[in-house]
Structure 1
Amino acid sequence: MKFVQSLRIISLISFFGLMISLLVWILIAEHSENFPVAAWLIIGVVPLLFPMRGILYGKTYTHAWASFLMLFYIAHGIGELYSRDAVIWYPLLEVIFSSSFFVAANLYVRASAKLRKKSQT
């Protein structure tokens, strides 16, 4: 039970860490003038709003499909790390938070399923 709760806490910290780091990256860091900030917010942050309620309530189904959403952020962060010359902190945080959410959410789904199966017997 304690292991499941710690996995849930790790996934929550990773999810909101990713959201906050993306917001800081989009709103504070320098960008090219060709792409408006509102478009960056819609593309980068709005997809994270869809699973937020289920993640806050600890729904295993939401954790499962939100972990697949993190694959987009992992790929984006790796692409930005590869192509950036200047500041690498924002894409590095994106890769770290999205990867840790991916792992913690998958382990949370697995552990809570085992716990549920054990309690039914």
Structure 2
Amino acid sequence: MMQKPSIQQLQLGASTSLIALILLCLAWEGVLAPFKPGGSLLIFKTLPLLLPLFGILHGKRYTYKWASMFILLYFTEGVVRAWSDVGLSAKLALFEVSLTVIFFGCAIYYAKFTRAK
């Protein structure tokens, strides 16, 4: 039987996946496979990811709750671009999907396990 993850493990998973997603978006749209050669304004899709960052890092339950829904926008973008893009961009999109799934799972379980009883 699988053991229940600790609150610290869930917070670490959410924090790490969110920071990795921020770095991925910056690298993807800035250097690795930008929409246009030389970079594009899609790099600004990273900015909304900064909104929940400090709440996630500080273990704010409310932030975990709303960020778990907010991250689904990035999941959707990743799925669409994995389906429609080719080459490195499609692989980066799959990595984006993976990071959003990790964040989502950690965030909803963190919110569940920190609920007042």
Same fold (TM over 0.5): yes
SS in 2 for 1:41: helix
Specify the code of the residue in structure 1 equivalent to 2:10.
L
SS in 1 for 2:59: coil
Which structure 2 residues correspond to residues 36-55 of structure 1 after superposition, within 5 A? 37=40, 39-42=41-44, 44-55=45-56
List, as ranges, runs of 4+ consecutive aligned residues in structure 1 with deviation greater than 2 Å. Answer: 29-34
Which structure 2 residues correspond to residues 1-121 of structure 1 after superposition, within 5 A? 3-33=6-36, 37=40, 39-42=41-44, 44-87=45-88, 88-113=90-115, 116-117=116-117
**Sequence identity (%):** 29
The structure whose residues are more often helix, as a share, is: 1
Residue 112 (structure 1) shift: 1.0
Structure 2 portions without partners, runs of 5+: none
Could you state the TM-score of these two structures normalised by the residue count of structure 1? 0.84
Residue by residue over 1:25-74, the C-alpha shift from the partner in whole angstroms, topping out at 9 and shown as x without a partner, is 0111233449x62x2122x1011111111111110100110111110000
Residue by residue over 1:79-120, the C-alpha shift from the partner in whole angstroms, topping out at 9 and shown as x without a partner, is 00100122222101100001110111000000111xx43xxx
- Higher RCO, 1 vs 2 (CA within 8 Å, ≥6 residues apart): 1
Structure 1 portions without partners, runs of 5+: none
